[in-house]
Structure 1
């Protein structure tokens, strides 16, 4: 079993790689095994993944802070090692194939980079009554998720989920022991690079239900173009 930071790295990789457009996934995997693959798409995928990892984790190379370009280069190298057969399986939305790719990339990165949790600087959440949220923003007891949530990792059922609105990935929730609490669920928005309109990109809640509802609240607000209002 991976330690906390290893689990977190794999979860982040799964989030950022699986949120790539279907066109990019098809270009990476090809239309048959080893046929019509477009290796030039790897750099774009790696750059997106590096942006996500560098925002979420403290990454060092040889004891010094790693650059985004350096992280992207390492991710690209790892993706180029993915076999034609495994890459093609990604186009089927094969969960096991995604797990295998994320594991392969994670192992490669762990061999050349050092990862740690990034110290929290308060940038993801505003000052508030509780957990980064004002009292009127709290998830109420009767609120239930509206989207479709499914296990991200079949070998760890119950503590890692990805949420979808139709075919669109809304975000991810997972439980991980970062603080010594067994009941802390972290959530991540599957951002597409569009403006956040004042909404945080990540945070935590006390339960899986609350975390899923939080992701959905932010997702549907962004879809509607509604910014966060924190005054009052």
Structure 2
């Protein structure tokens, strides 16, 4: 497998696996090394991961497209082979542990499946790096905003919204009517002088939903102090 595909696969796995809920991670890792692990959680973790991988990658088995169920089975098999020690490290937010896990799953998938990029289908968000984001950073089709979004100007409702998390302003999204740019919703992160940690302060997405989700992703990453990986 080409090195760039291997790197892409590992990035996707990191995105899919690390976004699992803390409850799932705790069930998978246990409350101490080898203690109270709930291995039944592997199946839903594998299904979610397969859904993510199959959305952005072409995955085949012996020349035929692999089903999501088949990919999920392969991911589950790899997860079942994770040691108690490694599984518990994940509950302690060990970056090294997560890298090791992604490598283990990736190596297993590479050994039994053929993996490649999906071709660009012409849509605004399909192409990696199209609007400044890597393919693993794209907003998912079922992703929805979590904050409260309201019209920026109460006296003039329109395609201009401000998002709030509690009392904190996260950012703004708006649409500009320009010929050839009908699908673009622009977004801005609220400027508070805090370090950007590699995250952009502005950009655009294909819809109001995805623009709002982009603002929230960056806002919560900054709140948690998370650096952007693979940007630029």
**Normalising TM by the smaller chain, what interval?**
0.5 to 0.7
Which position in structure 2 is the counterpart of 1:78? 78
Which position in structure 2 is the counterpart of 1:36? 36
**What are the within-5 Å matches in structure 2 for residues 39-188 of structure 1?**
39-125=39-125, 131=130, 188=137
8 Å contact from structure 1 (residues 82, 101) kept in 2:
yes
SS of equivalent residue, structure 2 residue 5: helix
8 Å contact from structure 2 (residues 15, 136) kept in 1:
no
Structure 2 CA distance, aligned partners of 1:124 and 1:96? Answer: 34
1:219 aligns with 2:168: no
Deviations 1:40-91 (A, max 9, x none): 0000000000000000000001111000000000000000000000000000
SS of equivalent residue, structure 1 residue 59: strand
SS of equivalent residue, structure 1 residue 115: strand
Which position in structure 2 is the counterpart of 1:226? none
Structure 2 CA distance, aligned partners of 1:98 and 1:119? Answer: 29
Structure 2 CA distance, aligned partners of 1:32 and 1:192? Answer: 36
| Unaligned segments of structure 1, at least 5 residues | 133-138, 140-172, 174-184, 201-207, 224-232
Deviations 1:164-198 (A, max 9, x none): xxxxxxxxx6xxxxxxxxxxx556147594448x9
SS of equivalent residue, structure 2 residue 137: strand
8 Å contact from structure 1 (residues 31, 37) kept in 2:
yes
- How high is the TM-score relative to the length of structure 2? 0.60
Structure 2 CA distance, aligned partners of 1:95 and 1:123? Answer: 34
Structure 2 CA distance, aligned partners of 1:95 and 1:81? Answer: 19
Structure 2 CA distance, aligned partners of 1:70 and 1:34? Answer: 28
- How high is the TM-score relative to the length of structure 1? 0.60
Q: Which has the larger radius of gyration?
A: 2
